[in-house]
Homo-oligomer: A and B are copies of this chain.
Amino acid sequence: MWRPALSKTPTEIVTAERAGLLLARLRTQGPLVHCLTNTVAANFTANALLAIGASPAMVDNTEEAQAFARAAGAVLVNLGTLTPQTAAAMRLAVKGAREAGRPWVLDPVAVGALDYRTRLAADLVSEAPTAIRGNASEILSLAGETAQAGRGVDSAASSADAVEAARSLAHATGAVVGVTGERDYVSDGARLVALANGHPLMPRVTALGCALSAIVAAFLAIADEPAEATAAALLTVGVAGEMAADGARGPASFATALVDTLYTMTAEDLEKRGHIEPCPHAARSTLRSTS
């Protein structure tokens, strides 16, 4: 009897219950997350990490990045306000993370729109990131589909348009790929999950995606399974966004409530509100990859 290879079966990546367990573990362990991120996102990212229970440290000079990455629970590399100096530090941090076997996350901000960072991102993708988190334009660009490159830091495409790109990028690189937007998708190259939480105010808060990538790193630091950790992080932030919208009067009070919610939300909130969807693309893609 023929059956597809188990690794290609679209089994469940995450459940709300498992996400809740990981959130609890994150709060207990308080992992050190080494962030090389942009100047717009640094403060908000650190506050989001502190709120959820992690211990952030922003160290992005070439003198310290490698040694610090070796000691961290996970490393975040975010290309937002790249300079030649921080690019060099990023390469060293990735080297340190790999030497010490630490998970690391790539956030390819605005890749595709600008050559310099697109080349750096290609180099970094070859350094085995544990996870890649981007918007649709960024993931399409990394997957080699340059037609829909973003405009600046915002995506010109919807996340649904990048589902196949996310899967193929994950398959080609071995990284878990998360593409966020109106719906979020996570793939490990074989499996795929869609997460349908979130709120329209989220893209009106700068650096929310950057903070999300840092939270992916925090979950990776305490989890055994990268795809589950990545999906749990996206689910947690999506649910927090929904909860934070109650009573928000605009994007700034929403951002305040979001960080507060990361601090106060419970596993029960994830179970009650989390929308984890069987992904319609999954079956199609499995057929394609086994045909």
Contacts and interface: CB of A to CB of B under 8 A. Distances in A.
B251 A50 contact: yes
Task: Determine how many copies of this chain the complex contains.
Answer: 3
Contacts of A67: 114-115
B42 A40 contact: yes
A116 B68 CA distance: 11
A96 interface: no
Given A40-B46, A47-B255, 14 more contacts: A38-B58, A47-B251, A47-B252, A50-B204, A50-B205, A51-B204, A51-B251, A55-B152, A61-B82, A204-B263, A249-B260, A250-B262, A251-B259, A253-B257
A117 interface: yes
Contacts of A81: 42, 58-61
Contacts of A262: 250
- How extensive is the interface on chain A, given as a class? 35 or more
A272 interface: no
Interface in A241-279: 249-253, 255-264
Contacts of A80: 58
A84 to B, nearest CB: 7
Given A250-B259, A260-B250, A61 B84 contact: yes
A68 B114 contact: yes
A70 to B, nearest CB: 11
Contacts of A63: 82, 84, 116
